[in-house]
Structures are given as C-alpha cells and as structure tokens.
Amino acid sequence: MYSIKEIFYTLQGEGANAGRAAIFCRFTGCNLWSGRERDRAGAICKFCDTDFVGIDGTMGGQYKTAEALVDAIQGLWPADQIKNKFVVLTGGEPLLQVDRNLTKRLHKSGFEVAVETNGTIPVPNGIDWVCVSPKQGAKLRVTRGNEIKIVFPQIDLQLVEFENMSFDHFFLQPMDNRNREENTNLCINACLENPKWRLSVQTHKEIGIREIYKHELCRLPKLSGIIRGGIVNTV
C-alpha cells in the first residue's frame, strides 16, 4: 500500500535537473515533521512549506500495489514520447514508503527514477538519481549520491560538514521565508567564497509552473521536438 498526496506532470524546478520534464509523485508522511502546524515548533524540520498531509491532492489516494501506482504515473507521460521518461519520488519523506518492487516496476515502464530525500533513511536499490536535502538536527545517513541540496541558512548548520561527502553536485538553495532576499545573498556569497557550491533557485516558484495535465490538450501548436503535453496551470 502506498499513500500518495499527489501525482502531477511538470518541469523540475530546481537543482541539477532544473527544466527537465518530470512526473512528481509526492508521498504522504515525514519523519522530521508531522506536516501539521500545531507540531511545527517542536519539529526537527521547522521550515518546510510543502503540503504532504492526506491524500486529497491531484491523483492522490491509497494505491494498493506498485503496479497500480506505476499505471497512474505512466498515464501522465505523453503517449508519443517513449524516451527521457523521468519520475521524481518526493514527499514528505518518500523513503518511508518507496521499496524495490516499486522501483523495479518503474524501470520496467522505462522511467529513470529520482528521489528527493532528507537523507535520514538508507536509499534502496533501484534509485537512479539521489538528491539529499539535509536538515540540521537530523542524523544524516546518506552521504553519497548525485546531488546534495542544502536549504540555507539553517541555525547551527556548517557547510564544511558536507564538503567532503561523495556527491556529484553541491547546491545551496535560499530558504524561502520572509528573509528570502537576505538568504539569497548569503547563498550567493557562500558560492563565491567556495566554488564547490552552486546556487539553486526554485524556478517553478519564480515563473509559476505547477502542473501539466495530460488529459487536457494544450492549445499551443506542436513545435519540432517539443512535447504537446497539456495545459500549464500556474499558482
């Protein structure tokens, strides 16, 4: 059984895969915060701005089998595009639920499988792209992968603690709160001081991309090499 908040087709908005078409599958639940405001003050992660509570989002629900969940994901990918299939398993904390059976079936359907995790749970076999976003105060168990993306700044978090870990890409992403401009400047300065770090900007928020629904045909003409996948909804 997989408890899913939402599934949607969009463009990845941040990190090394920014701009890439992807299906996002958001799992409910997290081990660092309940997702409820009344628990935020006592949570390890206090700054999360993602709704991962309940199954009331787009295509959310309780999927009884991996096959059923993969069928739902597959149904959102453009039918005339059999290459470059990419799914991002996110949350909450997806590794509370993701298992080998699910990744096997995603691979069988032709998907490259990415996960966005807080790094507190070992990554199962079958994940092609591992993005780790550490949270200060949580024990980090995943110290290698494709990218580490630190929401910055965090109280008492020192970047030097991560710089010798085995990641291909090292990103700093400004914390999105009322101090976002100041946080962005801190990230920029940190990247200039140590070029190992790169700036990650949440472009999906900046330009308003949210969801592309396959079942609503786009009215734009189909350009050479460009998918006519659906309607872009903005928030």
Instruction: Calculate ∠ Cα 53-5-232, nearest 5°.
Output: 120
Catalytic residue among 8, 14, 28, 48: 48
Catalytic residue among 39, 50, 65, 182: 50
204 is catalytic: yes
25 is catalytic: no
Catalytic residue among 25, 30, 131, 191: 30
187 is catalytic: no
49 is catalytic: yes
Catalytic residue among 37, 49, 80, 206: 49
Catalytic residue among 167, 187, 204, 211: 204
**Which 3-state string (H, E, C) describes the chain?**
CEEEEEEEEEECCCHHHCCCEEEEEEECCCCCCCCCHHHHHHCCCCCCCCCCCCCCCCCCEEECCHHHHHHHHHCCCCCCCCCCCEEEEECCCHHHCCCHHHHHHHHHCCCEEEEEECCCCCCCCCCCEEEECCCCCCCCCCCEEEEEEEEECCCCCCHHHCCCCEEEEEEEEECCCCCHHHHHHHHHHHHHHCCCCEECCCHHHHHCEEEEECCCCCCCCCCCCCCCCCEEEEC
Catalytic residue among 6, 8, 14, 24: 24
Give residue 171's identity as a one-letter amino acid code: F
Catalytic residue among 14, 116, 147, 211: 116
45 is catalytic: yes
203 is catalytic: no
Catalytic residue among 6, 8, 10, 45: 45
Give residue 194's identity as a one-letter amino acid code: N
Which sequence positions are flagged as catalytic?
A: 24, 30, 45, 48-50, 116, 204
